[in-house]
A = this chain, B = another copy of it.
Amino acid sequence: MTASRGAALEEQRLARAYLLRAAEPPAPALVAFVAEHGPVAAAELVRRAEAPDAVVQETSARRELALGERDLAEAAGQGARLVIPEDDEWPAWPLLSLDVATGRGAGGVAAPIALWVRGGARLDQAANEAVAIVGARAATAYGEHTAAELAYTLAGGDVTVFSGAAYGIDGAAHRGVLAAGGVTAALLGCGLDAGYPAGHVGLLNRIAEHGLVVSEYPPGTPPARHRFLVRNRLIAALTAGTVVVEAGLRSGARNTAATAGTLGKVVMAVPGPVGSAMSVGCHQLIRDADATLVASASDVLDTVGRLGAAGAAPASARRRTDGLGPQALRVHEALDRRHGKSAEGIATESGVPLARVRALLPALELDGLSERCDTGWRGTRLPANPVARRVGGGGPNGDGGSAPGVGGGSVPAEPRPP
C-alpha cells in the first residue's frame, strides 16, 4: 500500500467512525448519501447539516458529536479496529444482500456504515463460509447440547459460526466452536467494551483470541433491546443461512430467521420434543415452511450448499462479481441455488426487463455465477471452474449465442441496450 493510499484510507476510517456515531443504525438515508459522496465528503456535509432532509433527520441528534478520533483511539486501546468498506477485510459480498433487500423496499436492513471488530480472524474470510446458530436465552439442556454439537461439527468442517452473545443457545454455539478449535464470531447489540452480558465477558475474550467480536456500536454504547433486533440483520447477512436451535413462540431468534428470509438467506430450524415450549417456535417455522428442518450438521451443510452459498461466495466468485452492474447483480440475486427459475420469473423478481435478463443469464453463466437446469436457471452450487464451464456450456436451452458481451468471459458492467 502506498503512503497516500494509506493516508486516504485513514481519512475514510475517521469519517466513517464519525458517521457511525452520528446516526443510530440502521440509517438507510445516510448509507445512500455516503455511497453517493464517499465517506469523507459525506461526513463533512453531515457535520454542516448540508445533507438532504432524510439524512439530516437521521443524524440530527448526534451530528455534533465529533468523537471519531476518540472512538478509534479507545478501540485501539481495547485491541479493536474499525473495518470499513474501503478495507480488503470488508465482507462486501455477504453484506450486498442488505443493499439488495433495502433496494427492494425492505425496511430496517440498511447496510452498516462500518463495523467495530475485535479478534484475530479476518471478517471477510470468516463470512466466506459461515452459518448462524441462534436461539433462545432460556434454552433447555437439550437445546444447549444440540447447539454446541452442531457448532462443534460445523467448525470441524471449517465453517465459521456466527451468533449473538446471549446466554443459552448463543453461548452454547460459541463454546462448541471453541471446543473444536474453530472460528466463531459474536455480534453484539452494544459497544465492544460494554461487558455485556456480564457472565459472558470471559467467553467473549476467548472468542476474540481466534475468532471475532463485532459491533456497529461505538465504544461505550450500552445494550438496548432495539439494538439486538438491529444487530440481527448483520448475523443474517454475514452468513449463508441461519439455524434456529430453540425458540419460544415470541423469540428474538425468530426475528433473525425472518430477517434471513428477507435477505434471501437459507432459514433452518432444529426440531425438538413436541412438549417443549422452547421448541414451539422452531416447529412453527418448519410447519409454516418458513424454515427447513435440520437435525445434524450435515443437514445444515446440505441445506446451505457446502460451498459458495448465497451471501458467502468463495473469494474467486467474489472477485468475479466485482465488475457486475446493478442489473446483473439484481438478476444474480434473484437466482436460487436449489430451484431453477424461468427467465420470466427472474425478470419479475429482479425488476430487470425480460430481454435484459435473457442476455445477462448466459453472461453470468460464463462467469460461473448461474447455470441452466431442467426448470430454467439457478445460482451455482459450487464454485465453477470457468474453463470447464465454457467447454461444456450451452445446454439444450442454450441461447448463449445471443448474449451480448459474452466474449470477454466476464459479465459486462452493464450491457448496452440492444
Interface residues of A (CB under 8 A from B): 142, 146, 270-275, 279-280, 283, 286-287, 289, 292-296, 299
Contact = CB atoms under 8 A, between A and B. Distances in A.
Given A286-B286, A287-B299, A299-B287, A293 B273 contact: no
Contacts of A296: 274
Given A272-B273, A274-B270, A286-B286, A293 B293 contact: yes
A293 B294 CA distance: 13
B293 A280 contact: no
B283 A293 contact: yes
Contact of A283 (B271, B273, B274, B280): B271
A295 B287 contact: yes
A82 B146 CA distance: 52
Best-surrounded residue of A142, A283, A299 (most CB of chain B within 10 A): A283
A314 to B, nearest CB: 26
A270 B279 CA distance: 12
A58 to B, nearest CB: 39
Contacts of A293: 271, 283, 286-287, 293
Contact of A274 (B287, B292, B295): B295
A142 B270 contact: no
When A and B form their complex, which 6 residue pairs have the shortest distance between CB atoms, in order from nearest?
A271-B271, A274-B295, A287-B293, A283-B295, A286-B293, A273-B273
A289 B296 CA distance: 17
Best-surrounded residue of A146, A274, A275, A296 (most CB of chain B within 10 A): A274
A135 to B, nearest CB: 13
Contacts of A294: 287
A262 B274 CA distance: 27
Contacts of A146: 274-275
Contacts of A287: 292-295, 299
A271 B246 CA distance: 13
Contacts of A273: 142, 272-273
A283 B296 CA distance: 10
Given A293-B293, A295-B280, A286 B271 contact: yes
A274 B279 CA distance: 12
A375 B296 CA distance: 36
A272 B299 CA distance: 16
A296 to B, nearest CB: 7
A187 B396 CA distance: 50
26 contacts: A142-B273, A146-B274, A146-B275, A270-B274, A271-B271, A271-B272, A271-B274, A271-B279, A271-B283, A271-B293, A272-B272, A272-B273, A272-B274, A273-B273, A274-B295, A274-B296, A279-B295, A280-B295, A286-B286, A286-B293, A287-B292, A287-B293, A287-B294, A287-B295, A287-B299, A293-B293
Nearest to A299: B287
Contacts of A289: 289
A142 B271 CA distance: 14
A214 B293 CA distance: 36
Nearest to A145: B275
A371 to B, nearest CB: 23
Contacts of A274: 146, 270-272, 295-296
Nearest to A287: B293
A158 to B, nearest CB: 22
Nearest to A268: B287
Nearest to A283: B295
A287 B296 CA distance: 12
A292 B293 CA distance: 11
A279 B270 CA distance: 12
Given A270-B274, A286-B286, 16 more contacts: A142-B273, A146-B274, A271-B271, A271-B272, A271-B274, A271-B279, A271-B286, A271-B293, A272-B272, A272-B274, A273-B273, A283-B293, A286-B293, A287-B292, A287-B293, A287-B294
